[in-house]
Amino acid sequence: MGLTSNMVLTLAVLSAVLLFAGTVWLWPRLARRGWRSVGGRVGLLLATQVALFAAVGLAANQAFGFYASWADLFGQEKDQGVVVDHMPGDGPLEVVGTGRVPGAGGVRPRSGGRIQQVDIVGRTTRIATPAYVYLPPEYFQPRYRTRTFPAAVVLTGYPGTASALVEKLHYPRTALELARAGRARPMILVMLRPTVAPPRDTECVDIPGGPQTESFFARDLPDALRAHYRVSEKRGGLGIIGNSTGGYCALKIAMHHPDVYAAGAGLSAYYKAPIDATTGDLFQGDKGLRNRADLWWCLRHEPAPDTSLLVTSSRSGESNHKDTLRFIERVRATGRTRISSIILESGGHNFNTWRREIPATLEWIGERLNGR
């Protein structure tokens, strides 16, 4: 049974309830002095606490998508996903599954769209990663058969799971509902983790001697999408969105590659790549690479990119509020890069806050992307 399965959560909750009831029932019998009674009381209390902790932890993991599997939880996921050999003729993108948009209704693709589970392999970086692709109903309708669509790459935080973008943050359902209401244009969504070399957090950096993550998102991923889907090849056909670590990546990639991404939205983003136990040494002593990963440095020392940025925060509950206001002022001072924001009165660094920001974010990015 998987870490995120409902069966595991149900068993954990049931175990906690039964242990609690058993402790109450057996406590009078264990009230005597003596090592056996004391040991019994300690054992019951310890088992109950462990079961409660497990139940709460599993529920939190299902809600926020911290870990995708038992191997991920215990740090046993070692697949770096950076070197993959394929037979000649294999494309950079392979569809491995398809399904309906959760909670959106519409049995047929022409009415409810589709979600495809895909495997993507970078032609130049050799990075391999799974993803989910949302195709709107219009993609399957005969009158749009020659039309290309704008697309938005959507990134999770770290560690994050791509499935959480579908099942917890409801990106496809929200995009479908907005288009049906006439509030947003139909667009393709490509949903994946920024952690393309798990368990390492690469912060979307081209690491010397390691995964070339920024190049994957800036070059390989757009090429794979355009080769497989009717994604607009015009300048302004692609945007990028992310939350937390994914938000930092979205802003950085949009700023570094405005010719590829016409807009970037960072939900609860930060503005400088951290160095910690999850990232390791990202820059290998390369000062230029370290500076390039610092958005504050880029705003001060590099030409202002011709792109549109969106940042979000909340006055109460988000630690990035002051930095976000300062980032807005720095971008405005460039006179060229366009900046927008969503500032909530309150909201923490969590899925509930991002769900409140996603509809306006999709509307915003849809207005800045071109299709045909």
Q: Are 132 and 191 in contact (CB under 8 A)?
A: yes
The C-alpha atoms of residue 3 and residue 163 are separated, in whole angstroms, by 14
Q: Is the pLDDT of residue 139 over 50?
A: yes
Residue 321 burial (C-beta neighbours within 10 Å; 0-12, 13-18, 19+):
middle
Q: Which residue has the tokens 């609690």?
A: 20
Supply the DSSP string of 316-333, one letter for each residue: ET-TTHHHHHHHHHHHHH
Look at residue 64 in the predicted model and tell me its pLDDT. Answer: 59
Q: Are 321 and 327 in contact (CB under 8 A)?
A: no
Instruction: Please work out, in degrees rounded to the nearest 5, the angle formed at the alpha carbon of residue 182 by the alpha carbons of 179 and 186.
Output: 30
Whole-structure pTM value: 0.78
Confidence of residue 106 (pLDDT cuts 50, 70, 90): low
The C-alpha atoms of residue 296 and residue 21 are separated, in whole angstroms, by 56
Q: Are 225 and 190 in contact (CB under 8 A)?
A: yes
**Phi-psi region at 152: left, alpha or beta (left = phi > 0; alpha = psi -120 to 50):** beta
pLDDT digits (tens, 9 = 90+) for 203-217: 999 999 999 999 999
pLDDT digits (tens, 9 = 90+) for 223-250: 999 999 999 888 889 999 999 999 999 9
- Average pLDDT over the chain reads 88
Pairing assessment for the beta strands 338-346 and 151-155 based on DSSP bridges = unpaired
Q: Is the pLDDT of residue 361 over 60?
A: yes
